[in-house]
A and B are shown apart, each in its own frame.
Chain A
Amino acid sequence: MSEPKRLIIEYEDGSMKGIEFFQLSRLNRLELSKLGLCAPPAAIPSPSKYYLLLRWKDGWQEVFGVDKGSVELLRYYVIERTEEVGRMALEVEGDYPVLLLIRRMPKNLESLTIVGGDGSKVFGLEPKLRNEEGGKVEHVEYDKAERHFQHEPEETAQDRVKAITDTLQRELDKSGLTAEKLLAMDQAPRVAEYKKLARTVGIRATEKQEDVYGFIQLMTENLANSGT
Chain B
Amino acid sequence: MITGVKWCGVDFGQCLMDPSGLRNYLVVGDVCKELGEPELIEERIHRYRVLKEKYGSYGAIKEGHRDEILRYVFDDNSFAMKIFSAKEQEHLSVAEGAEDALAYLRDQGIQRAVVAELKKTLGPIGSDIATRFLKHKGLLQYFDEMFTPQGKIDLHDGSSDMRYKGKTKEEGLLYDELAQELLMRGIQTSDAVMIGDKPWTDINPANERGFKTIQFIGYINYGSSEADFVISHFGELKEIIKGVKR
Contact = CB atoms under 8 A, between A and B. Distances in A.
Interface of A: 74-75, 103-105, 195, 198, 204-209, 212
A105 B27 CA distance: 11
Contact of A205 (B26, B36, B53): B36
B38 A208 contact: yes
Contacts of B30: 104
Interface of B: 25-26, 29-30, 33-34, 36-39, 53
Given A74-B53, A75-B53, A209-B39, A204 B26 contact: no
A208 B39 contact: yes
Contacts of A105: 26
Contact of A103 (B25, B34, B36): B25
Contacts of B26: 104-105
Contacts of A74: 53
A205 B38 contact: yes
Nearest to A103: B25
Contacts of B25: 103-104
A19 to B, nearest CB: 15
Q: Which DSSP category, helix, strand, loop or mixed, fits chain B's interface?
A: helix
B53 A204 contact: no
25 contacts: A74-B53, A75-B53, A103-B25, A103-B29, A104-B25, A104-B26, A104-B29, A104-B30, A195-B36, A198-B36, A204-B33, A204-B34, A204-B36, A204-B38, A205-B36, A205-B38, A206-B38, A207-B39, A208-B38, A208-B39, A209-B36, A209-B37, A209-B38, A209-B39, A212-B36
A105 B90 CA distance: 13
A205 B38 CA distance: 6
A204 B38 CA distance: 8
Contacts of A206: 33, 38
Nearest to A191: B36
B52 to A, nearest CB: 10
Contacts of A195: 36
Nearest to A194: B36
Contacts of A204: 33-34, 36, 38
Nearest to B36: A209
Contacts of B37: 209
B36 to A, nearest CB: 5
Contacts of A103: 25, 29
Interface centre among B25, B33, B37, B39 (most CB of A within 10 A): B33
Contacts of B53: 74-75
Contacts of A75: 53
Contacts of A212: 36
Given A74-B53, A75-B53, A205 B33 contact: yes
B38 to A, nearest CB: 4
Contacts of A104: 25-26, 29-30
A206 B33 CA distance: 7
Nearest to B53: A74
A207 B38 contact: yes
Interface centre among A74, A103, A209 (most CB of B within 10 A): A209
Contacts of B33: 204-206
A209 B37 CA distance: 6
B3 to A, nearest CB: 40
A103 B30 CA distance: 11
Nearest to A84: B23
Give the top 8 A-B pairs by smallest Cβ distance, nearest first: A204-B33, A205-B38, A209-B36, A103-B25, A207-B38, A209-B38, A195-B36, A74-B53
Given A104-B30, A204-B33, A206-B38, 14 more contacts: A74-B53, A104-B26, A104-B29, A198-B36, A204-B38, A205-B33, A206-B33, A207-B38, A207-B39, A208-B39, A209-B36, A209-B37, A209-B38, A209-B39
